Amino acid sequence: MSEQGTVHAAEYLQRADALRPAARAAVPANVLEALRSAKRLWIVPHERPDADALGAALGLKAILGQFGAEVAVVSSDAPPAVYDVIPTIAEVALEAPTWQPDAIVLVDCADPKRAGRIGELIIALPASTPRILIDHHVSNETTWPLAWVDARAAATCEMVSLIALALGADLSVDEGRLATTLAAGVIMDTATFQHGNTTPRTLEVGGLLLAAGAPISEISRKIYRSKPLAQVQLHARVLASLNTTDDGRTVFATMMLA
């Protein structure tokens, strides 16, 4: 189960107004217009989705829902239990809807082939169905005309937060649940703002989501500092078997698997 923080309404509005011009400048106009005009969408994360892929997909679903769009988040794989910190994780479907979409959105992923069996359905859809790609990986070399690939973004959830501002959506709705959803991805991909991919803009988005009600410390604890007992026990066995060679330059562990 997830927990929400406190929405600081005045500070949120101030931060949103300050960041909105940069958001409008960052998001490609054709991507923004495609998202704005579509009324029925499938949003698809990569297979074996992590917090950034799930947060981006579910966050974008909530954002577009504010404008009346019907949106389904469809994943080839079930979300791992550790990501139940995302409030709307139960909205992830493992089977595609029976209705045909006006547009497909692929998040945190360079190619439909990386979306598993749902990616195969995307490939089989009519070529006239708009395909939108939102990703932050530098390795993404997509040729899709409706694509926003921003390698300076620490997480796809950072990008989706900017999309929300550019569209005029409210990130503080639902007692901070939307902000929590997006913050989970940013925290996952930056190790709670510790990795070198954290930029001033990442911190601005983090501050915005905090003001919008995301409990940053609680999300970080659940993703990074809460481990199942079996995982802790395995870690202990690995540490107990550590050895070194090459004057301490190489460290290895030996374990019996059976």
Mean pLDDT, rounded, for 77-100: 95
Q: What is the pLDDT of residues 20-64, one digit of tens each?
A: 999 999 999 999 999 999 999 999 999 999 999 999 999 999 999
Mean pLDDT, rounded, for 88-113: 94
Classify 245 as helix, strand or coil: strand
Residue 226 has pLDDT above 80, yes or no: no
pLDDT confidence band for 2 (50 / 70 / 90): very low
Give pLDDT, residue 258.
58
- Predicted TM-score of the model (pTM): 0.88
pLDDT confidence band for 10 (50 / 70 / 90): very high
pLDDT confidence band for 3 (50 / 70 / 90): low
Long-range contacts of 32-35 (CB under 8 A, 24+ apart): 32/163, 32/166, 32/167, 34/103, 34/130, 34/132, 34/146, 35/60, 35/64, 35/103, 35/105, 35/132, 35/163, 35/167
Residue 58 falls within a domain, yes or no? yes
Measure the CA–CA gap between 169 and 21, rounded to whole angstroms.
Answer: 14
Residue 1 has pLDDT above 70, yes or no: no
Mean pLDDT, rounded, for 86-109: 96
Residue 80 falls within a domain, yes or no? yes
Alpha-carbon Rg for the chain in angstroms: 19
pLDDT confidence band for 141 (50 / 70 / 90): low
Give pLDDT, residue 139.
73
Q: Are 47 and 76 spatial neighbours (Cβ–Cβ below 8 Å)?
A: yes
Q: Are 185 and 51 spatial neighbours (Cβ–Cβ below 8 Å)?
A: yes
Q: Are 26 and 234 spatial neighbours (Cβ–Cβ below 8 Å)?
A: no
Domain span at residue 234 reads 229-258
pLDDT confidence band for 110 (50 / 70 / 90): confident
Number of structural domains the chain divides into: 2
pLDDT confidence band for 229 (50 / 70 / 90): low
Mean pLDDT, rounded, for 237-254: 84
- In this structure, the answer to whether residues 159 and 256 fall within a common structural domain is no
- In this structure, the answer to whether residues 87 and 105 fall within a common structural domain is yes
- In this structure, the answer to whether residues 236 and 134 fall within a common structural domain is no
- In this structure, the answer to whether residues 241 and 192 fall within a common structural domain is no
- In this structure, the answer to whether residues 138 and 40 fall within a common structural domain is yes
Q: What is the pLDDT of residues 154-203, one digit of tens each?
A: 999 999 999 999 999 999 999 999 999 999 999 999 999 999 999 999 99
Give pLDDT, residue 20.
98
Give pLDDT, residue 116.
92
The two beta strands, 242-245 and 147-149, are unpaired
- In this structure, the answer to whether residues 51 and 168 fall within a common structural domain is yes
Mean pLDDT, rounded, for 111-123: 90
Round the average pLDDT of the chain to a whole number and report it.
Answer: 92
